[in-house]
Amino acid sequence: AQTVTQSQPEMSVQEAETVTLSCTYDTSENNYYLFWYKQPPSRQMILVIRQEAYKQQNATENRFSVNFQKAAKSFSLKISDSQLGDTAMYFCAFMKPVANAGNMLTFGGGTRLMVKP
């Protein structure tokens, strides 16, 4: 079974600064996907970024980028130029696709990020 660990329960950052959220995972699989989801106070689950394990290039999405270290099983999220709207809970998630079953996500415990003005 896969496990996902987020070692930072809470973090804060000043507006316009950069912050990095950590995530490690444990798996024996070679092909999988990793995600960061954002959950604002409304409790929606919003996809931030996705990384395929077979791709060496780190994914980027505007101000969001990841540092994917497959050998170390590490998947950190960097938020540049932090904005007040980035205040949310951030969940790291692991996915191993299974044909005819779907793509179940295993989530980490989350990091609560507060962006301060």
Partner 1 sequence: EPEVTQTPSHQVTQMGQEVILRCVPISNHLYFYWYRQILGQKVEFLVSFYNNEISEKSEIFDDQFSVERPDGSNFTLKIRSTKLEDSAMYFCASSGDPFSVLHFGNGTRLTVT
- Residue of the chain from 16, 18, 40, 45 that contacts partner 1 (CB under 8 A): 45
Binding segment for partner 1 (CB under 8 A), chosen from 13-21, 56-64, 72-80, 89-97, is 89-97
- The answer to whether 62 touches 49, Cβ cutoff 8 Å, is no
Residue type at 108 in one-letter notation: G
Residue type at 101 in one-letter notation: A
Q: Say how far apart CA 12 and CA 74 lie, in whole Å.
A: 21
Please give the distance of CA 88 from its chain centroid, rounded to a whole number. 12
Give whichever of 42 and 57 is closer to partner 1, judged by the CB atom.
42
Q: Provide the b/e sequence for 21-42 (b: ≥16 CB within 10 Å).
A: bbbbbeeeeeebbbbbbbeeee
> By rule CB under 8 A, what string of x and - marks binding of each residue 6-35 to partner 1?
---------------------------x-x
User: Does the footprint of partner 1 cover residue 103 (CB under 8 A)?
Assistant: yes
Give whichever of 53 and 82 is closer to partner 1, judged by the CB atom.
53
Give whichever of 15 and 26 is closer to partner 1, judged by the CB atom.
26
Chain positions contacting partner 1, by CB under 8 A: 33, 35, 42-47, 50, 91, 93, 97-110
